[in-house]
Amino acid sequence: MSEWTTDDAEDLYRIQRWSDGYFGIGADGKLLALPNVGKQEVPIALQDVVDELLDQNVQFPVVMRFHDILKNRVKQINESFAAAIADFEYEAPYRGVYPIKVNQMREVVDEIVEAGRPYHYGLEAGSKPELMAVLSYDTGPEALTICNGYKDKDFLRLALLGRKLGRNVVVVIEKFSEIEPLLRLATEMEVQPIIGLRVKMRVKTEGRWSESSGERAKFGLTTSEILNAIRLIQETGYGDAIRLLHFHVGSQLSDIRFVREAVQEAARIYARLVKRGVPLTYLDIGGGLAVDYDGSQTIGLSSMNYTMDDYAGCVVAEVKQICDLEEVAHPTLVTESGRAITAHHSCVVMRVIGEIANDANPIATDPVDDEHILVTNMRDLLADLAEDKNYQDVYNEASSLLDDVLSAFKLGILGLEELARAETLYWRLLRAIAKGLETAEFVSEDLRHIETPLHSQYLCNFSLFQSAADVWAIRQILPVAPITRLNEAPSRNCTLADITCDSDGRIIEFIGEQSNRTALPLHNLVAGEGYYIGLFLTGAYQDVMGDMHNLFGRLNEAHIFCDPEDPTGFYIEEFVAGSSSGQVLNIMQYNPAAMAGQVKAMIDRTVANGQLRSREGVKLVDFYEACLSSYTYLLGPELGELP
């Protein structure tokens, strides 16, 4: 067998393919962040970040945010559209907006606004709290603020407040009933609104979010409603306010064919409305720009068959062609891409704290006096396996023997120790068969899955429901890779288990070469050495959709920037502490101070009864109060975890 190299690790974990060049592998086997694509002279080793955080007594798991990646994504989408506009001689600009629902974290929005300022990049809000956040940002005089979602009077008033402040706030009409209150409030507040109309597209897409499109879509106006809305708005004297046509046909559009078809339909509607005298100037094609989570570059649910440049070129070319045919001016193009902007910048780094395996901690299997014949037969089967290469027959006999062993135990014929010896021998036999099959010319259907029960579960200090909700909810594939030892061959096939008390808290599907894997090759755990794993592409939705399952709460965060002058190539600009036990309890309407008081009272009574010494009672009160203010996740060994 040839020596393992980092190229082999790249083939296994496909890091360059799913990361779009933002991550790679160093010669020393460390996983690298490469925030500025093409400038790999300043790589950041994730293990170096881990070591620095451990030196600062930061507990894991930790969300690592590489803000330079975030800024680069904003730059990339704007420059992709600028290049397409120049190539196709398109006669209007691009004015993208970031939908903050994808990740509303202040630090994320701050970076996007700052990076987008030279491009007049705006923000989109879909609720009152989101709009309040968006209005607090100075995005520049040409940037748009798009208001989507269902709206009440306060939502509309907030939007018009933005207009009072000179902002380009566009109220997108999702329901016909939103028109009358908007116009009434505009008259009351003496301000000219900017109105957008969302059209229900006839194009039907595929995938998880296909219901966002078609006639059964949740949002938008039918063609008849569009015409009636325009008539009502014009009759009320606000016809000049209709400036934007909006549509959305689904998130994570993996096939560019659907992008093309949707843009063609929308551009035709836009052009025909303009020819009817509607003063539209913006065409908002919504979201849908995908992320290649598995790096396969296909139309699979977790992939995409196009690049960001392809996407921009498709949009620009299709709109230009139809507008030229209809002889109307080219509209200013708007997109609401969020997933593609934020996904790459964030990852969750967690420590493996143990291994769960069927053949872990085996019992001694040496022959003993008066051993039951079933146990002896299992041992003999294992001993004879070296000579008997008919793995199928051996597997069949072993499976039958194990059934007999279990039946004998249930009938009281076998004792616990004999059952344990037989099970241990069985797992050794299965592992020996699996090893032999590695060089077999033919493997039967039965034996193809023999390794599945042999897969280890690596127990990781994180909550799937908090950090990767989509993995549980919609079986989203997120890339997983170790952050060190990538120059060593992995020796264990593993699934990942979290520390919640829920059986669903597992990752059991991983990126594979042709299809998804049911286990991920990882390295063996070495006593006394931390083994850290990264869960990647978590910057979109995962950051903000996590729940309070088991009251674990938000993770610690490290905000990391490139620094070519620093020996490590980076600096940690900010550390944001995750949730404490007291904070998550307070969210669930517990009163941590009252809880501490109640526990203290119980301890005081125990001391008064003579069951506990006063000194010990004080220490226990202090311990309980310290737990209320501490991190919800497990302590690492360097911070006092028991072995």
Interval 286-305 mean pLDDT: 92
From 248-262, 367-381, 429-443, 479-493, the region with the lowest mean pLDDT: 429-443
159-203 pLDDT tens trace = 999 999 999 999 999 999 999 999 999 999 999 999 999 998 876
Beta-strand relationship, 332-334 and 282-284: parallel
Separate counts of helices (H) and strands (E) for the chain:
22, 21
**Residues above pLDDT 70, as percent of the chain:** 94
Q: How high is the mean pLDDT of the chain?
A: 90
CA 557/CA 540 separation, integer angstroms: 15
Cα separation, 395 vs 445, in Å, equals 12
pLDDT: which is higher, 545 or 127: 127
The rounded Cα 127 to chain-centroid distance in angstroms is 22
Spatial distance between the Cα atoms of 200 and 221, rounded to a whole number of angstroms: 5
The CA-atom distances, in angstroms, between 50 and each of 269, 463, 568, 637 are 53, 19, 12, 14
Q: Is 217 helix (H, G, I), strand (E, B) or coil?
A: coil
Provide mean pLDDT across the span 349-367: 85
Domains in the chain and their CATH numbers? 67-337 (3.20.20.10), 373-445 (1.20.58), 583-639 (no CATH)
Residue 294 clears pLDDT 70, i.e. is over it: yes
In angstroms, the CA 438 to CA 416 distance is 34
The whole-number average pLDDT for the span 628-641 is: 74
**Cα 45 versus chain centre, distance:** 21
The two structure tokens encoding residue 279: 């003063």
Task: Assess contact for 186 and 176: CB atoms under 8 A.
Answer: no
Joined together, the tokens standing for residue 436 give 């032999």
How big is the CA angle at 323 (ends 242 and 258), to the nearest 5 degrees? 90
Q: Which residue has the higher pLDDT, 377 or 444?
A: 377
Q: Measured between alpha carbons, how far is residue 421 from residues 194, 380, 382, 417, 450 in Å?
A: 76, 13, 13, 6, 20
Q: 164 burial class (0-12, 13-18, 19+ CB within 10 angstroms)?
A: exposed
Percent of the chain with pLDDT over 90: 68
Q: What is the pLDDT of residue 326?
A: 96
- For residue 642, what pLDDT is reported? 41
Give the pTM.
0.89
Burial of 55 (0-12, 13-18, 19+ CB in 10 A): exposed
Integer Cα distance of 482 and 532 in angstroms: 6
- Among the residue ranges 141-155, 341-355, 544-558, 582-596, the one predicted with the least confidence is 544-558
| Size (the chain), residues | 643
Are 23 and 536 in contact by the 8 Å Cβ rule? The answer is yes
Model confidence over 419-437: pLDDT tens digits? 999 999 998 888 888 888 7
- Predicted confidence at residue 212, as pLDDT, reads 53
pLDDT of the residue at 553: 86
The residue among 596 and 504 whose pLDDT is bigger is 596
**Rounded to 5 degrees, what are φ and ψ at 529?**
-115, 130
* Cis bond upstream, residue 479 (ω within 30): no
Q: Looking at residues 284-308, what average pLDDT do you find?
A: 93
Beta-carbon neighbour count of residue 405 at 10 Å? 24
- What tokens does 417 get? 């120790």
Phi, psi (5° rounding) for residue 619?
-65, -40
Question: What's the rounded mean pLDDT across residues 384-405?
Answer: 84
For residue 414, pLDDT over 50 is answered with yes
Given this model, what pLDDT does residue 643 score? Answer: 37
Query: What is the distance between the alpha carbons of residues 637 and 643, in angstroms, rounded to a whole number?
Result: 7
The listed range with the strongest mean pLDDT (48-52, 462-466, 489-493, 628-632) is 48-52
* Contact criterion met (CB below 8 Å) for 306 and 297: no
User: What pLDDT digit, counting tens, does each position of 209-261 carry?
Assistant: 555 555 656 678 999 999 999 999 999 999 999 999 999 888 899 999 999 99
- pLDDT, position 205: 61
Whole-number pLDDT of residue 350? 95
Within 10 Å of residue 369's Cβ, how many Cβ atoms? Answer: 4
